[in-house]
Amino acid sequence: MSRVALVTGGTRGIGAAISTALKAAGYTVAANYGGNDAAAKAFTEETGIAAFKFDVSDFDAVTAAVAKIEADLGPIDVVVNNAGITRDGTMHRMSPDQWQAVIDTNLGSCFNCCRAVIDGMRSRKFGRIVNIGSINGQAGQYGQVNYAAAKSGIHGFTKALAQEGARAGITVNAIAPGYIDTDMVRAVPAEVLEKIVAKIPVGRLGQAGEIARGVLFLVSDDAGFITGSTLSINGGQHMY
């Protein structure tokens, strides 16, 4: 029986690449999404991966969704916390709602999803958790104090949970992507994107599949001795 993997934000962008890579590697995948029903339906029709709509920032919604996924597909052995939003703005213009929405969705979701599966992983003595951070959580970014704080928090969350899970056979790692060729990045004005690429030593944007391959390694049995680590996949833009 194949292991069940939950990927949050798993029907678009980096999340879609992770979901499809896990399925190709033999996992049974549950792809979460938050609001775009049309995109989720198209993703499921194209890939055959089941999509589950729930708000990852809502603890009760996550708890109920995990129970449904496990009833439908089996116990969740792999969680990839990928869901994230941006609400950019400089501090003097940022509203409390902009701050809280990003903290709750990007960081709070990691707690919500991990809390919902951790007891089962501990009882089975196996688990793989990969949290998707960001280069901007490592280096900071102008106009993103909320996003940088949430992503930086993910890196600390990863190290602490890794210590708790280690003796129970649960590894917890993070990936910090740099600038990846997704719809969100493509929406950046061309002159701004040109300046971003100029700062990347390898001279190009990353591909979502490159992040997915990092996830595949970290959730594999071969990575059982790796926990509490952050894998930076950023073309050399920030070496940390």
**147 among known catalytic residues:** yes
Candidates 27, 33, 147, 179; catalytic one: 147
| CB proximity list for 195: less than 8 A, separation 6 or greater | none
How many other C-beta atoms lie within 10 A of the C-beta of residue 232?
20
- Minimal CA–CA distance to 149: which of 104, 112, 179, 181? 104
Across-strand partners of 6?
30, 79
CA torsion, ordered 63, 14, 30, 120, to nearest 10 deg: -50
| CB proximity list for 111: less than 8 A, separation 6 or greater | 59, 157
Find the angle CA(114)-CA(69)-CA(8) to the nearest 5 degrees.
50
Question: Which residues are catalytic, by number?
Answer: 147
